[in-house]
Structure 1
């Protein structure tokens, strides 16, 4: 009977091992699936000195999981997420600001070219009208770019709110799965599928926010922000929110266990941190510098016109009106301003162009922009576009690097936890042979048993 029992235990163990391999092969293309294998343990002999042992048993199903590789994969997801969302916005701004038909530089150049052209015949109505036309077109370029800035601001903030909603769903899911895993382990049921689902949720969350993940003895995992605030503790979880305040258009908060934390979105990492850094370090600064440039042109042109005289000998009046924070009407020509209102004379005499020369000279004056510093007015937009181009190239390089690191970390995780079709095929053959060998032992044991009965009969 011992022979039959041993062989039966071997056949049953082989069946469990084949079942594990079949599960692995079935999930060959399942994202986040961790392969499993039967852990075989020999059953020791009984008290008899002539007992070789009592067969084999499957002591557990093991998961081929490396926590270090999982953590590296999650960190790479966060790093990649930080740069992945920004590139589309940077590329759009590069396209708009560098387009000859829409760039501010071209608008400024054409305005001052029109002023230069009228110097040969300051009384020419068509040339004066061309100055007004180019001034209006220059204003439209500023306004159009400001509209692009505002559209991007709205898009970034809406996208961040959507990411927060998605992150909250994953945070809640991780906490719920933690509870299910704890219960499964307590009842002796395999929790491998639950663990895979939870780790996949952590991976997706890591792309949105930089995380710290720690393991607990009961099988649950705690998740917190890099800045230390807990998102998930066992089966408890917090809730993120993004809301406008008096001092910020979008303040991030975390509510956990009755306590509210105000978060610095710049330090959150992942997609949320990347979008916030793009907004504060690139988009808002560009908008601020562009608005300041528009204001400087308006103020200096209006001041110089006010110092001159119109063809009828009356004092000059402002040509531009600058309205801070106004999207489509930030810089416009004063309503009702006419060609004969251009005050080109410095002494009130017909044909004098003294004040016109001073107007033309504004182009070569220096302006100080809040985030760019002191530059020539004629070079200001070129330098803004150049700085944007540098930011875009740096983001592209960082995105390429982090994407490569992410790919390498996923491949590294796959080498340990992923299913290898060839390896599983070998396992199937080996466990099939194991099963057949044990069934042969049972057949031999039956023959021996029948022979023994015949001898005793």
Structure 2
């Protein structure tokens, strides 16, 4: 190879190196951009130089660790955003349920001083209406949160499908590029950025095929992306609980599989599901059991007393009966309906599943612990009694049929005062207008352990506030720790794959001088050639 050809090879290599360094410099703040390095090698012809490749400074292990951390952080951040709303809602001291319950019992205490005082009776009614109104507002707010979470889950699923479709499209372009003997670093960067964005939504496992394509799978191994194909997630009404949205997976044959919520442990989708299934459901059930317990206990005393008109007391508070939903996959025609029994102490702030089998008949389990619950089946009335509820059964269940029982989840939003007439308060147990014996029993409900037979109303509400506050603090602490880990991994990833402007500035100077030196080689070669041609 002539000296001119050698110089030209250097000029070509210098141009590529300058272009590479320029690209690094101009993309220093481009999201997802990975540092590129021009690798020099001796020319295959034996003289001169060539650029063997322009490679990305990419570490798959660090990137996988970072994506996993991003997924966990996103789940915690989403959970914290949601649970902080409940924490703020319950922490309002002036309008807290505990304050209003104290106000209600304070009005009853005033009534005990003179049961014939109509003003005192109206005060009790007013305090009761204020209390039930606050219960309704809190319950409705939580119901709206549940609806909003379901809506967010749908939006997140749409985003997941959009990202996986784009990743599959890039897989196709990248594998084609590899087949042609060249690799587009820009396409690789775009794909890795999409995977990072996907990790914010769901926790995924990524593996690389021999042709450079990514396989992206959920934690349970189901593929979201396999080569050039992507597989959709969908949302549907839960078969067991129509108040909740379930996520389903659609395979290549079009078959749909319902995914357990535990499939999504990370990402904002996992955070939403975790919040819905724990803190939100618990808060709804805890508020609900307060409403049900007060309703049952107070109405029981009303029924045993005499009002100002000399009549037996009527129900003062009202709350919806337990909700029961038959699984949509049931094959029998049985339907279940429930009412609360007088045994208010047997109630628990949890959901239950009733199952039927040909061998065991109807069995009951707690959904929060999975523990079996003692139940009594009455064949004469075709009814089932458990946990402070009487469940009437109509129709015939088939083997494997199941039913979801929600005793208290919807109770708070339905809590109401049935009368605005203070004379209907059954303050006594005789026809005497000044008899306050039953009012004293009503006042004792404030300190009696009427919730689950172990806690007072105030203790139950305080425990709810404490549990939510503790959860909010715990998640905030975990989020802070996880954010620190994500920051460390980001720094590590950037130290390897990020652009250092100082280094690139130095590289530009070096490659410029290199270009000038190669140009000098060409100049010298040309001068020598001219000299030789001028020799006679």
Match of 2:480 among 400, 415, 420: 400
Alignment of 1:13-24 (within 5 A): 13-24=13-24
Alignment of 1:270-309 (within 5 A): 270-309=267-306
After TM superposition, give the deviation of residue 43 of structure 1 in Å: 2.5
After TM superposition, give the deviation of residue 402 of structure 1 in Å: 1.6
Give the equivalent residue in structure 2 for 1:332.
416
Give the equivalent residue in structure 1 for 2:42.
42
Alignment of 1:228-377 (within 5 A): 228-248=221-241, 249-258=244-253, 259-268=255-264, 269-324=266-321, 330-335=414-419, 337-368=420-451, 374-377=454-457
After TM superposition, give the deviation of residue 69 of structure 1 in Å: 1.3
In the alignment, is the contact (CA less than 8 A) between 2:160 and 2:198 conserved in 1?
yes
Please give the per-residue CA displacement for 1:74-122, whole angstroms capped at 9, x wherever unaligned. 1011101111112222222122212134321112111100000112121
Give the equivalent residue in structure 2 for 1:25.
25
Length-normalised TM-score, structure 1? 0.93
Give the equivalent residue in structure 2 for 1:49.
none
Alignment of 1:146-295 (within 5 A): 146-248=139-241, 249-258=244-253, 259-268=255-264, 269-295=266-292
In structure 2, the CA distance between the partners of 1:329 and 1:176, relative to structure 1 (3 Å rule), is: closer
Instruction: Structure 2: give runs of 5+ residues left out of the alignment.
Output: 322-408
Give the equivalent residue in structure 1 for 2:126.
133
Alpha-carbon distance in structure 2 between the residues aligned to 1:212 and 1:77: 13
Give the equivalent residue in structure 2 for 1:56.
49
Alpha-carbon distance in structure 1 between the residues aligned to 2:245 and 2:417: 34
After TM superposition, give the deviation of residue 329 of structure 1 in Å: 5.7
The number of residue pairs the alignment matches comes to 445
In the alignment, is the contact (CA less than 8 A) between 1:237 and 1:256 conserved in 2?
no
After TM superposition, give the deviation of residue 188 of structure 1 in Å: 2.8
Please give the per-residue CA displacement for 1:17-75, whole angstroms capped at 9, x wherever unaligned. 11111111121110000121211111367xxxxxxx41111111111111011101110
In the alignment, is the contact (CA less than 8 A) between 2:138 and 2:413 conserved in 1?
no
After TM superposition, give the deviation of residue 141 of structure 1 in Å: 1.1
In the alignment, is the contact (CA less than 8 A) between 2:42 and 2:49 conserved in 1?
yes
After TM superposition, give the deviation of residue 396 of structure 1 in Å: 0.9
Give the equivalent residue in structure 1 for 2:469.
389
In the alignment, is the contact (CA less than 8 A) between 1:96 and 1:102 conserved in 2?
no
Length-normalised TM-score, structure 2? 0.80
Give the equivalent residue in structure 2 for 1:10.
10
55-64 or 257-266: which moved more?
257-266
Determine helix, strand or coil for the equivalent of 2:442.
helix
Please say which structure displays the higher CA radius of gyration. 1
Give the equivalent residue in structure 2 for 1:417.
497
More helix by share: 1
In the alignment, is the contact (CA less than 8 A) between 2:207 and 2:214 conserved in 1?
yes
Please give the per-residue CA displacement for 1:341-390, whole angstroms capped at 9, x wherever unaligned. 11111233332211111110011111345xxx932222211110111000
Please give the per-residue CA displacement for 1:224-258, whole angstroms capped at 9, x wherever unaligned. 01111111110011000111033132111111211
In the alignment, is the contact (CA less than 8 A) between 1:175 and 1:234 conserved in 2?
yes
Determine helix, strand or coil for the equivalent of 2:114.
coil
Give the equivalent residue in structure 2 for 1:50.
none
After TM superposition, give the deviation of residue 409 of structure 1 in Å: 1.6
In the alignment, is the contact (CA less than 8 A) between 1:308 and 1:348 conserved in 2?
no
Alpha-carbon distance in structure 2 between the residues aligned to 1:289 and 1:134: 21
Please give the per-residue CA displacement for 1:139-169, whole angstroms capped at 9, x wherever unaligned. 1111110011111001111111101001100
Give the equivalent residue in structure 2 for 1:86.
79
